[in-house]
Structure 1
Amino acid sequence: MASWLPETLYETVGQGPAPSKDYYQLLVTRSQIIFRWWKISLRSEYRSARPGESKDTHEDFLDNSYLQGKFDFLERLSDSLLLSIISYLDLEDVARLSQTSRRFAKLCKSDMLWEQIVQSACDTITPDMRTLAEDMGWRKMFFTNKLQLQRQLRKKKQRRESQQQALL
């Protein structure tokens, strides 16, 4: 079964959060986890710093307290990847996660996340529903009950029809 997996399972590169200018690469292969870093600084004590690399098996990586404490790998993941991961959480867990940091609060309230959650909860999303969600916000749409949504969709449709009749 593992032979069906590609050799490189995941790779991400990026710059550390401000004010750092450091670059990082996280590479997860079938057999190991490789973390590389490049220190970029104008400070004299870092000018001679060489790039670093850490290679560990999956088991050793999980046991490596130095890496676990030194680098916050979750913070280094892109917003789109984190949103994808968060969309699989239970709503209670999303609420708890939103309280952990400003970044997670922003992600947990983002329309991109709630659009994914609504799409996974609904069988189909009609163009009218999509328009309404973009007007009111996907999160608000998710928490609005069906009767209220149907009433808002009906009002929106009536307004559109009356505008079309006014144009004729």
Structure 2
Amino acid sequence: MASLIGETVLESNGQAPAPSKDFYQLVVTKKEVIWRFWKISLRSEFRTTNPGELRETHKEYLDDYSLQAQIATVLCDSIVSYTLNLCRSNFDYLEHLPNALLLYVILYLDLEDVAQLSQTSRKFEKLCSSDALWERIVENSCDTITPEMRALSKELTDLQDYTDYIA
């Protein structure tokens, strides 16, 4: 299963809180944590500042509370928690599976299980409410889908898109 995970296991970008305009990038690989930063300033003393990069092994990162606090400020506390888990080799394998494969697996669940799965993470909420999943569920549940049914579905989708647009 570990072979499914590429070299980069997490990548996240963010901008420092106002009034700062600095940009940051966090990359967690199988061996290290990389924190990149770009200082954006109109002040003359910072105009020539080059982008920077901090690289730490997983073990070093686990003990670097200053870097963890900086990441929490720019990105969020949940990213820090997730990176700490990654550095402790607690990988979330489901996060790295392709959506097509996850949708294929979800098709075998009961509808109640799909509803419960959708509440476990943002990724599964998005997958469980996707049109692709529900179209396949309806196709598997119905003997035939007539052209009239498809036309009605398209009309309802267009109507929903329109009401979302004007709202």
> Which band: TM-score by shorter chain?
0.3 to 0.5
User: TM-score with structure 2 length normalisation?
Assistant: 0.46
Q: Could you say which structure has the greater relative contact order, defined with CA pairs below 8 angstroms and 6 or more residues apart?
A: 2
Structure with the greater alpha carbon radius of gyration:
1
